[in-house]
Structure 1
Amino acid sequence: MEQFATEDQQVEAIKRFWKEHGTAIIVGAALGLGGLWGWRYYSDTQMASKEAASVEYQNAVETYGEEGSADKIAAFINANEDSGYASIASLLAAKQAVDAGDFDAAASHLNRVVTFAENEELKALAAIRLTRVQIEMNQLDAALSTLGNITNEAFAAEVSELKGDVYQQQSKFDDARLAYSGALEKNANNPLLQMKLDNLAVAAGQ
C-alpha cells in the first residue's frame, strides 16, 4: 500500500480504489469461478447482489458528514455485512461515533473491521484506531492486547507510539521511554514523538 501522511488519506485511497475498481473485481471473481467450475456456482442473483452493494455503498458514503448520514451508513453495514464495502463503511461510522463522543459505538464498529475485514491493511488501520478509542475509555490492558495483534510492519511506528501512550498512562515510564524511542527509530521526522519522549521526565517527576 502507498504511504500516506494521515490515516484519513489511507481510508480515502481505499474508498477511491473500491469506487473505481470494485465492480471490476467482483466481475473478475465471477469470471474466474465460471472458468473453473461453471456459472452454476455463481448465479445471476449473486452477481446482481454484489453490484447492488456497490451502488448502495456509494450512495451511503456520499452523504458522509451530512445530517442523518450515520443512520444511512449503519443501515448499509447491517444490510451488507458480507461485502468488502461494509468494512470501509464501518471505519467511517466509527469516525462519526468518535466525533459524537460515542466511544462504545466507535469500538463496536472498529471491532467489526478487525474481526471480519479480509484486507490486512484495513484490519491494521482499524486496530490502530480501536486502540486510540480504548485509551480514551481508559481500557489500557485491552489497548495493549489490541496492539499485540497488529503484525503489519507498515504500522510498526504507530504501534510503538501507542504502546508508549499506554505505558505513560500506567505510570510505567521506563517502558514508555523504550516504546517512544523505538517509534522514533522508525519515524524520526515526527516532532510529536520527540515531545512525548521529552515530557516523560516531567511526568515521572524526575
Structure 2
Amino acid sequence: MNDYTTEDEALDRIRQLWGQYGKAIVILSILVAGSFGGRNLWVSYKSDSAENSSLNYSQLLLAVDQKRFEDAYEIGSEIIKTDAQSSYAELSSLFLAKISFEKGDYDVAKNTLTALIKSSSDLNTGNIARERLARILLSEGKTDDSQKVLENSKSMDLTNHLLELQGDIMKTRGDLESALSLYQKALAKNVINGQDSSNLSLKLNDIKNNLAGTK
C-alpha cells in the first residue's frame, strides 16, 4: 500500500517555491499522495503573522526530504504544540500520521488523523485526513469502518484518488461492477490531470479479468 511515487517531485517543488518567494509570501505546494491517496493542496500565508511557524515548517519539510523522520516527527510535534490553531499544525499532523504509518504505528496514525478530522478548520485538509484514515482502515480489513469515514464527511469532492479508494472498497466487498465503474471514472480524471495511471490500469485489468471469468 505504497503509492508515494511523486512525493520527491512535490518536495522539489516546495523547495523551488520557498527559494522564489522567501519570507515575503510563503506558498507551499503539498502533494498529499501515496498510501492514503493524494491531491494538491495550496496554502498561502503572510509571513508577518506566521514567520516562526513557517520557518519551523520549512525545517520539517527539509527533514522529511532528507528522510530524517525522527527529527521531522519532533519538529512537527513542536509546531502542533506551540501553534495548534494554525494551518501549519494541521499540515504537520498529516506528515506525522504518514511517518507513523510508515513505521508501522497504525494506531498512532489513526489517532492522529481522527483528531485532525475533528479539529480541522479547513474542509480540504479534513477531507484529506478522511481519505488517509479510510485507506488505513481498509488495509486492516475494516471495510465498513472505511466506508463510514467517507460517508460522514460533510462534503468531499470526487477526486480521482477518492474514486479509486471507493473502487478499492467495492472490490473488497466483492461488488466488481461498482468497482469497475469507479476505477473507470478515476482513470478518466487521471487522464485529464495528466497523472500516472499505471497502478490504476492494473486494477482495472484485474477487475475486467475477474468479471470475464464469472460470465
TM-score normalised by length of structure 1: 0.68
Aligned pair count reads 180
Residue 158 and residue 150 in structure 1: after superposition, are their counterparts in 2 closer, same or farther (change >3 A)?
A: farther
- Structure 2 match to 1:68: 70
Query: Which of residues 187, 195, 198 in structure 2 aligns to 1:191?
Result: 198
Matches within 5 A, 1:12-27: 20=23, 21=25, 25=46, 27=48
Asked if the contact 1:135/1:166 (under 8 Å) is kept, the reply is: yes
Asked if the contact 1:60/1:72 (under 8 Å) is kept, the reply is: yes
C-alpha deviation, 1:160, in angstroms:
1.2
Query: Which of residues 127, 140, 143 in structure 2 aligns to 1:140?
Result: 143
CA distance in 2, matches of 1:51, 1:129: 29
Query: More helix by proportion, 1 or 2?
Result: 1
Query: More strand by proportion, 1 or 2?
Result: 2
Asked if the contact 1:113/1:123 (under 8 Å) is kept, the reply is: yes
User: Which secondary structure state, in structure 2, belongs to the residue aligned with residue 187 of structure 1?
Assistant: helix
Asked if the contact 1:127/1:150 (under 8 Å) is kept, the reply is: no
> What amino acid is aligned across from residue 118 of structure 1 in structure 2?
S
Matches within 5 A, 1:1-206: 6=6, 20=23, 21=25, 25=46, 27=48, 51-64=51-64, 65-66=67-68, 68-69=70-71, 70-148=73-151, 149=153, 151-153=155-157, 156-188=159-191, 190-203=197-210, 205-206=213-214
> Relative contact order (alpha carbons < 8 A, sep ≥ 6): 1 or 2 greater?
2
Aligned-pair Cα RMSD in Å: 3.4
- Per-residue deviation, residues 128-153 of structure 1 (Å, max 9, x unmatched): 22222121122212222233327453
